[in-house]
Amino acid sequence: MDHTTQIISAALTVMGVDIGKDVFHLVGFDHQGKVAFRRKIKLLALVKTFKGLLPCIVGMEACLSAHFVARSLRKLGHEPRIIPASIRVRSRRGRRTTTATLRRSPKRL
């Protein structure tokens, strides 16, 4: 783990994960709720990325692969929380993506 990853890891308290077919979007928030980390990773790099981070709360939208991802993250010491799709859709206005929803509402996790 390099110096930059150690600093980012220490600052993160909540992570939002937008699960896609091949790519995951990660948004990390510090203790004040400000965006401290943003990264787009491939599916196979998920475990490697989270191994380098200190345990934190990880929120993601419920989908078929969310439970698999949650189990993988729980083994690494993180606290995954699966958000029902109905909650995310209710908070949406216009054409916003899940990543934008996660950026707007870290407190909901």
Q: What is the pTM of this model?
A: 0.71
The residue ranges of every structural domain in the chain are 3-108
Question: What topology does CATH give the domain 3-108?
Answer: Nucleotidyltransferase; domain 5 (3.30.420)
Q: How many Å apart are CA 5 and CA 99, to the nearest integer?
A: 21
pLDDT above 80: residue 37: yes
pLDDT value of position 42: 92
pLDDT value of position 104: 60
CB-facing half-sphere around the CA of 31: CA atoms within 13 A: 3
pLDDT value of position 63: 85
Residue in 11, 56, 61 with CA at minimum distance from that of residue 31: 11
Is residue 41 within 8 A of residue 24, CB to CB? The reply is yes
**Predicted confidence (pLDDT) per residue in 64-101, tens digit:** 889 999 999 999 999 999 988 776 555 455 555 556 65
Is residue 70 within 8 A of residue 50, CB to CB? The reply is no
pLDDT above 50: residue 39: yes
